[in-house]
């Protein structure tokens, strides 16, 4: 069974940094797009960052571009999100997701087939 497990969330002051990790097990996703989504209380789940199977295509939401960096290590089935210059509005549960087919970046939650349970990021002011 496919499993995605996020880690690295926590409490950080505005302007600080966190690095999120996602470990995939049960199958490999080396040719599949993966990404990060987030959901704040009372809000819809939204796209944060996505990366294609061989990291040739990367997409970011406008709200995080220039501050966040997504990367992957296919040999280890790991996905990362380096978050710098964090803002209180970044506070949310962050989810790792993977597409079930090969291809490029997906930016809508409905295009992703596998999800982690999330890790909470809280940015205080």
DSSP result, 11-76? EEETT--EEEEEEEESS--TTEEEEEEEE-TTS--EEEEEE-TTS--EEE-TTTTTTEEEEEETTT
Q: What average pLDDT does range 114-124 have in this prediction? A: 97
Token pair of 105 as six digits: 């970046």
Whether 58 shows a pLDDT value over 80: the answer reads: yes
pLDDT digits (tens, 9 = 90+) for 63-109: 999 999 999 998 899 999 999 999 999 999 999 999 987 778 889 99
The span from the CA of 123 to the CA of 125, in Å, is 7
The span from the CA of 3 to the CA of 106, in Å, is 19
Whether 29 shows a pLDDT value over 80: the answer reads: no
């Amino acid at each position: 069974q496919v499993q995605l497990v996020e880690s690295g969330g926590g409490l950080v002051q505005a302007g600080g940094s966190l690095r999120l990790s996602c470990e995939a097990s049960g199958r490999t996703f080396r040719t599949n797009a993966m990404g990060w989504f987030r959901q704040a209380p009372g809000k819809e789940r939204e796209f944060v960052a996505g990366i294609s199977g061989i990291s040739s295509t990367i997409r970011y939401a406008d709200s995080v571009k220039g501050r966040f960096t997504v990367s992957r290590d296919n040999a280890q089935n790991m996905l990362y999100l380096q978050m710098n210059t964090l803002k209180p509005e970044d506070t949310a549960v962050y989810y790792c997701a993977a597409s079930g087919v090969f291809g490029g970046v997906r930016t809508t939650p409905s295009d992703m087939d596998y999800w982690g349970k999330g890790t909470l990021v809280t940015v205080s002011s």
